[in-house]
């Protein structure tokens, strides 16, 4: 008699192999109706396929807190991060809770005392994923001895915490190389100080690429300011209407790139040109 495989159980139960796998390994049986779960388990029993013990046990009691700025992971970086984590937690039968943290525009820091502290005392998580520049939140979680990992593009040396971050230097380097390899020899780098440390890392990568290609300093324009609107309104006409204007631009992020492109179109400057 040939060995019974997962696909044999799925065929007998009338479900996909993925569904049978999720149910029989107890990774996400709650996603399916009781009738489907029973049918798959019964098919496995009749065929002599090993059925994992039920219930899941301690694994299903695990909780992970996803901490981010208000209003929450609706879109963009927060949304993508949450969606990825939710998929993993669903497969592993771990509960993923969203904890939004107020942000003070005046201090430029998060204020987690009310929302986060209350959550920790009422429904303490087993671990936390912190998205964004939330120094105070990380400190609070660590004080409560909750395992914490940060994700994002902000380098925070003042917060000793495990982190998964973007390689900002590499990003600036590759963006500049892309333009240089296409023949551009006059480049501009657009940034603003409120981006934090990561814009300096991307600028360093930009300058490294230019140096490797022998681009002289006079062919590079580095622009930074504290106010994005002033940067775009002032930078575009002054630098890009000259005969020796840059022909390639690296923006520190997508937001600034959009501001810059809109302003160029308003001034009648074609992109690309």
Q: Please report the pLDDT score of residue 215 as a whole number.
A: 92
Stretch among 88-92, 199-203, 226-230 having the lowest mean pLDDT? 226-230
- Using a cut of 0.85, tell me whether the model's pTM lies above it: no
Q: Please report the pLDDT score of residue 54 as a whole number.
A: 46
The rounded distance, in Å, linking the Cα atoms of 109 and 241 is: 39
Mean pLDDT of 249-258: 83
What's the longest Cα–Cα distance across the chain? 81
| pLDDT grade for 12, boundaries at 50, 70 and 90 | very high
The rounded distance, in Å, linking the Cα atoms of 186 and 145 is: 51
The rounded distance, in Å, linking the Cα atoms of 23 and 31 is: 9
Count of residues making up the chain: 273
State both tokens at 255.
């937001």
Number of neighbouring beta carbons within 10 Å of residue 199: 22
State both tokens at 273.
């040109």
For residue 129, pLDDT beyond 50: yes
Distances (CA, A) of 144 to 65, 99, 168: 13, 16, 31
The rounded distance, in Å, linking the Cα atoms of 98 and 64 is: 9
| pLDDT grade for 227, boundaries at 50, 70 and 90 | very low
Say what the alpha-carbon torsion angle 147, 153, 159, 164 is, to the nearest 10 degrees. 30
Q: Please report the pLDDT score of residue 153 as a whole number.
A: 62
């Amino acid at each position: 008699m040939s060995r019974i495989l997962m696909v044999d159980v799925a065929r007998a139960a009338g479900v996909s192999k993925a569904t049978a796998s999720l149910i029989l390994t107890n990774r996400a049986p709650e996603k399916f109706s009781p009738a489907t779960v029973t049918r798959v388990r019964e098919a496995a029993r009749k065929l002599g396929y090993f059925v994992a013990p039920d219930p899941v046990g301690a694994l299903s009691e695990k909780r992970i807190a996803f901490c981010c700025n208000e209003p929450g992971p609706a879109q963009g970086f927060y949304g993508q991060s949450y969606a990825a984590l939710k998929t993993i937690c669903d497969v592993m039968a771990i509960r993923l809770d969203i904890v939004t943290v107020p942000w003070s525009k005046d201090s430029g820091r998060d204020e987690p005392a009310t929302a986060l502290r209350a959550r920790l005392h009422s429904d303490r998580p087993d671990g936390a994923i912190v998205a964004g520049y939330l120094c105070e939140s990380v400190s609070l979680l660590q004080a409560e001895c909750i395992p914490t990992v940060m994700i994002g593009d902000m380098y925070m040396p003042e917060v000793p915490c495990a982190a998964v971050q973007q390689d900002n230097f590499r990003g600036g380097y590759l963006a500049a190389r892309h333009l240089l390899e296409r023949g551009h020899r006059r480049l501009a780098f657009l940034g603003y100080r409120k981006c934090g440390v990561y814009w300096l890392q991307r600028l360093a990568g930009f300058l490294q690429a230019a140096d490797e290609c022998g681009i002289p300093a006079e062919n590079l324009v580095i622009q930074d300011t504290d106010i994005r609107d002033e940067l775009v309104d002032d930078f575009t006409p002054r630098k890009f209407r000259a005969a020796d204007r840059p022909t390639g631009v690296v923006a520190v992020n997508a937001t600034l790139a959009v501001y810059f492109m809109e302003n160029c179109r308003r001034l009648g400057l074609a992109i690309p040109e």
